[in-house]
Amino acid sequence: MESINISTLQNWKNKKNKFAAITAYDFSFAKLFSNQGIPIILVGDSLGMTFQGHDSTIPVTVQNIEYHTKAVRKGAPNVFLISDLPFMSYCQINQALKNTSKIIQSGANMIKIEGGKNLIHIIRELSSHSILVCGHIGLTPQHIDYLSGYKIQGRNEKDANKIIEEALLLEDAGIKMLVLECIPAKLSKIITEKLSIPVIGIGAGNYTDGQILVMQDLLGITEGKKLKFTKNFLSQNGSIQNAIKTYIYEVKKGIFPNEKNSF
């Protein structure tokens, strides 16, 4: 696979070519996903739950993200690699710069941070240093206690307008990509159309430019209640390789997510 960069993704947005992304945390899965044609991998702080066994993403450290970013980059040298800045690791500008530099030096092309208006000054500073930033609004797992659990965001007009406003503010501040998590599909459609940058959804319907799933959800190996917006691609495809190929195909064709997987 040829190296994917931010210009590639922006070109796909402009041409309305949908694309698939997935989380990964180690060399072996990163290599497998890359070999099947996955263009974007996220080293998410979801590793706190899927890899470390915590009940939230809060305990994940910058050192954890560095470690997993290095492993994933070795397995997938040509993918566009995004890594999360963990909880409370980007509250101050100097702190954000220091932690971002560690993660970028570990192999990430872009860092992702969760939040809205409160991050404008951080995003502007990171962008001024030529650091690619991905925003993340809607359901933000790092704020799960403040949100009182994993709930759909933006269901009423006031909350929806706030999310739209924050998306526009984040783009103006300099983000080059945005993740929308667990919001109504119609709301994600409005935001995707208003923004000029690529928008990736998870639990946000199929109007976004791209989709992302946690690898354990895609492979059907997550314990507990199945999340509405996920799909087990492994059960009907016989191998992980075929599951990934099917996932990529269904995202590109707009088959996944369907109405059953949307809010």
Asked whether residue 46 is marked as a ligand-binding residue, the answer is: yes
How many domains does the chain fold into? Answer: 1
Span 189-204, pLDDT tens digits: 999 999 999 999 999 9
Q: Above 80 in pLDDT, residue 148?
A: no
Q: What is the dihedral of CA 40, 205, 155, 220, to 10 degrees?
A: -70
Is the separation of the CB atoms in 231 and 257 below 8 Å?
yes
185 vs 259: CA distance, rounded Å: 9
26 vs 9: CA distance, rounded Å: 23
Is the separation of the CB atoms in 62 and 99 below 8 Å?
yes
Asked whether residue 112 is marked as a ligand-binding residue, the answer is: yes
pLDDT at 225: 73
Residue 242 inside a domain? The answer is: yes
% helix, strand, coil for the chain, step of 5: 40, 15, 45
Closest among 201, 168, 200 to 183, alpha carbons compared: 201
pLDDT at 150: 75
Q: Above 90 in pLDDT, residue 5?
A: yes
Average pLDDT, the chain: 96
128 vs 106: CA distance, rounded Å: 20
Q: What would the mean pLDDT of 111-123 be, rounded to a whole number?
A: 97
Task: Give catalytic residues, as residue numbers.
Answer: 181
9 vs 17: CA distance, rounded Å: 9
Cα dist from 130 to 109, 120, 124, 136, whole Å: 11, 15, 10, 19
Task: Say if strands 40-43 and 19-23 run parallel, antiparallel, or are unpaired.
Answer: parallel
Taking the model in full, what pTM does it have? 0.97
Closest among 186, 176, 183, 177 to 204, alpha carbons compared: 183
Asked whether residue 102 is marked as a ligand-binding residue, the answer is: no
pLDDT at 144: 80
Residue 1 inside a domain? The answer is: no
pLDDT at 8: 98
Q: Above 90 in pLDDT, residue 123?
A: yes
Assign 176 a pLDDT band (cuts: 50, 70, 90): very high
Domain range for 235 is: 6-261
Asked whether residue 166 is marked as a ligand-binding residue, the answer is: no
Q: What is the CATH number of the domain that holds 256?
A: 3.20.20.60
pLDDT at 11: 98
Residue 192 inside a domain? The answer is: yes
Assign 227 a pLDDT band (cuts: 50, 70, 90): confident
Kindly state the tokens that stand for 137: 């609004």
Residue 85 DSSP class: P
Asked whether residue 84 is marked as a ligand-binding residue, the answer is: yes
Span 18-70, pLDDT tens digits: 999 999 999 999 999 999 999 999 999 999 999 999 999 999 999 999 999 99
Is the separation of the CB atoms in 80 and 4 below 8 Å?
yes
Q: What would the mean pLDDT of 177-181 be, rounded to a whole number?
A: 98
Cα dist from 40 to 125, 169, 209, whole Å: 25, 24, 13
Q: Above 80 in pLDDT, residue 172?
A: yes
pLDDT at 241: 98
Residue 54 inside a domain? The answer is: yes
